[in-house]
A and B are shown apart, each in its own frame.
Chain A
Amino acid sequence: MDSIMLGLLNVLSPFNLLVIAAGTGIGIFVGAMPGLSATMAIALLLPVTFGMDPAAGISMLASLYMGAMYGGSISAILLRTPGTPAAAATVLDGYPMAQQGRAGKALGVSLTASLIGGVISSIALLTVAPVLGKAALSFGPVELFAIAVLGITIIGSLSSGSPIKGILSGVVGLLIAMIGMDPISGTPRFTFGTMYLFNGISFIVALIGLFSIPQALRLVEKDDGVQKALSSFKDKMLPTFKELKSMIVTILRSSVIGVFTGLIPGTGGDTACWFGYNEAKRFSKEKEKFGTGHPEGVAAAEAANNAVVGGALIPTITLGIPGSSATAILLGGLMVHGIMPGPTLMTDHALITYTLIWAVLLSNVFMFAEGLLLTRAAVTVTKVPNKVLAPIIVILCVIGSFTISNSIVDVFVMFSFGILGYFMDKLSIPTPPMVVGMILGMMLDISMNQSLLISDGSWMIFITTPLPAILLFIALISVLQATPIFRIIKQRLKKIAR
């Protein structure tokens, strides 16, 4: 209890407040830049924090993480290019809203949902972290496989319109995920003899290309007609009480999904936004509205990705297990400060840990305030002529894809995916299923192989363990939902009742 209060006092020191405010602001800014992700920003800023007091440095990085999760939605909504991979699902409803002249509302919904998601996850972090942290250890290969399968079913719901084209896109994504060294035998697959493909294709690089380059090309192709609707920023930003009430269930559901997705090692905001979006659509009575500019779609994705921050930090601080790629870098930062990540973080380094937790909670407040200010300014982006905006997007994509591993090969990969995305767009093949396939493909591959190694090749392992069995059952139902089976059964039941 003492350390909780000491942490609060520590975080309220002027320097720490300044650092958190700065971190959040940088986060929103970097997040809003297409091509620059939260993980990358944390990696870039990490060496800067080496000179700081560990508590302040880590707090700054964590608040940057929180800010970037909201920031990503700004460009997703205004430019149709997700600022971070975690905002990819926000594009689906955010950009249509902006086209309808409701950009302000979309950003307001995003900010509110981010705030609620972030606060819920911070409270979970502060109160039930030790209990939930243990849960991270219960996710082994078998469980991860089931989660990946469940995630793959999202492809189905993202393929509205033409299921065949959606599935095609998803399968290509899964195949792309197979590029690189085989995780079990170490044999390079589809690498064409170049070691630059040994680690596979980074889905972040592919996503930058797939979403941003086609949009830059579209901007050049189109005249400035679309912009008029965007620049009329007259609607009220924050959602009214009534609007909020209609979305609150979705936001809360997404927040819980976000916390748990964050908790699971290996999955982060990039996965959570799709899970949140998918579940919101599943439970909605107006499924057909999703993808056409439905505020609930924005709220679902944005609450989920901000809730990941707290969720991913839970196993990070209780066990020293990073819950996402961004928290993995945070842990690295702690190690560099000479703090051994592990169970001792909560005891030996309680002051730093609790300062960090309070900083995460506070960063939500800063995010909301700074978000309101910055967003107003950000909308002016839409007043920039297309022929100026498009090259800027391309430059940011080049910088973003290069910075991930300081590799020029990644820039070429990004452009290749950009061209692919452009033609997919022309053929109206949706790109989101491909991204989902790429994110989950690697996880599916390695977890399935590990599980089968453990079980001596018996597939029963997936059914005989309770949690995976339940998850796979849900996945099966999701697949069946897309077929007429349920409707037929319902009709039969009605007949029998009569």
Chain B
Amino acid sequence: MIENVFWKKAIMSGIAVSLMLSLTACGTTSQPTATPSAPKVSDYPNKPIAVLQGFKAGGGSDQLAQVTQPYLQKILGKTLVNQYIPGATGAIAWTQLAKQTEPDGYTISITNTPMLMTNYLMNAEIKYSIDELTPIANVVTDPGILVVSKDSPFKTYQDFEAYVKANPGKLTIGNSGTGGDDFFSILQWEKATGLSVKMIPFEGDGPSWQAAAGNKVQASSTNLGVVYSQVKGGNLRALALYSEKRNELLPDVPTLKELGFNMVAGSSRGYSAPKGIPDDVKKKLTDAFVEMAKDPAFIKGLQDSALPIDIKIGDDYGKYLKEQEAVFKGIWDSVKDSIKK
């Protein structure tokens, strides 16, 4: 009796498996018939493109996706489908992109610096690296910004610096979390100025600037796009911007470069594909970003969201990622022993 049931099950599953196999076989056999007619010029994209996001819906990556993707869809002629795979500051999504994704251009991902690199620089458990990716294009770089509460005694960057000089290691400064962009920005700043502050990590940019606004910490190092509306609304005062030149959103805020420190920092968001995608697919994708960057409506959309545009295409983006990786590795190697004690 028992054996009967067993065989029945075995036969049923056998049928099911063979059905599945034949179905997939149909799938694969039908494809080659399409390609021979156009051997070199691919019809990419002929199906929707999945966009992996290493963060939750409604976060910074999603904001970029929603502003960018309508234009990309128009240019590429196919829909882009967002897949949210939050966890381990994006590492789960990026590991999937680097290790488990078919390099056919139908799966790409939003890649955020510095997390894209610091994830594996800081944790041996994270195995991917940027060498396993094909950088497509950077879209936005949100420069770092130093803010204090509206009723802080620091009216200017000079006040702030004078205080830190007089009280080394005393001033409390919030960042978005150990290993985040703001964490590295403060370390870079300490290196550039030779000064030292007391870093307080928070869980994200929000709690960090909120602690500064509520005078729980004396300052916060965060990003322009994050606090722009708070600076404009008068809850925070911006002391310095870590960008190449002043930003038209806050024209009165000096850059660290003007103040005499050669330092540029921030977090950037762009798109990458797995390593080894066909050249023509890569060209289609990079061309789409070049075309999109020319669209005034797209540029206005970014401006309205206080997302500072910073287009770097293909190999330029790859070079930028490499340079950043070296910078972060240098900083992390010099401080990791004191932090991971």
Contact = CB atoms under 8 A, between A and B. Distances in A.
Given A137-B214, A338-B305, A332 B87 contact: no
A343 B63 contact: no
B211 A141 contact: yes
Interface in B71-101: 82-89, 91-92, 95
A43 B57 contact: yes
A340 B305 contact: yes
A46 B58 contact: yes
Interface in A164-222: 181, 183-188, 191, 193-196, 198-199
Contacts of B201: 183-184, 450
A108 interface: no
B58 A335 contact: yes
Contacts of B84: 43, 405-406
A187 B214 CA distance: 28
A369 interface: no
A194 B125 contact: yes
A471 to B, nearest CB: 16
B200 A450 contact: yes
A480 interface: no
Nearest to A404: B86
Interface in B265-323: 301, 304-306
A257 to B, nearest CB: 22
A405 B85 contact: yes
A139 to B, nearest CB: 7
Contacts of B48: none
Contact of A140 (B92, B214, B340): B214
A171 B123 CA distance: 28
A328 interface: yes
Contact of A320 (B172, B199, B216, B230): B230
Interface string B121-144: 011011000000000000000000
Interface in A139-159: 139-142
B58 A43 contact: yes
B178 A332 contact: no
B93 to A, nearest CB: 10
A193 B123 CA distance: 10
Given A43-B58, A329-B57, A185 B339 contact: yes
Interface string A313-356: 00000011110000011111101101011111000000000000
A424 interface: no
Interface range, B side:
35 or more
- The residue among B56, B87, B95, B202 with the most chain A CB atoms within 10 A of its own CB is B87
Nearest to B198: A453
B200 A265 contact: no
Contact of B63 (A139, A319, A335): A335
Contacts of B126: 195
A454 interface: yes
A385 interface: no
A333 B63 CA distance: 9
Interface range, A side:
35 or more
A183 B88 contact: no
A199 B206 contact: no
B203 A332 contact: no
Contact of B229 (A188, A341, A407): A341
B87 A405 contact: yes
A406 B81 CA distance: 14
Given A196-B87, A320-B229, A332-B59, A191 B125 contact: yes
A401 to B, nearest CB: 14
Contact of A340 (B58, B306, B339): B306
B228 to A, nearest CB: 7
Nearest to A195: B88
Contacts of B206: 265, 321-322
A136 B339 CA distance: 31
Interface stretch (B39-47, B188-196, B231-239, B256-264): B231-239
B229 A342 contact: yes
A410 B198 CA distance: 36
Contacts of A187: 340
Contacts of A319: 210, 230, 235
B214 A139 contact: yes
B66 interface: yes
Contacts of A138: 214
Contacts of B67: 336, 338
A489 to B, nearest CB: 37
A454 B232 contact: no
A184 B178 contact: yes
A446 interface: yes
Nearest to A453: B200
B217 interface: yes
A183 B203 contact: yes
A136 B216 CA distance: 12
A161 interface: no
Interface in A8-66: 43, 46-47, 50
Contact of A342 (B88, B91, B122, B232): B232
A187 B201 CA distance: 13
Contacts of A46: 57-58
B62 interface: yes
Nearest to B206: A321
B66 to A, nearest CB: 4
A111 to B, nearest CB: 30
Given A332-B59, A450-B200, A344 B125 contact: no
B338 to A, nearest CB: 10
A280 to B, nearest CB: 31
Contact of A195 (B63, B92, B179, B304): B92
Contacts of B341: 185
Interface string B91-121: 1100100000000000000000000000000
Given A138-B214, A198-B88, A450-B200, A333 B58 contact: yes
Given A186-B340, A320-B229, A343-B234, 12 more contacts: A47-B82, A140-B211, A141-B211, A142-B216, A181-B88, A186-B179, A191-B125, A198-B123, A336-B67, A344-B233, A405-B85, A453-B199
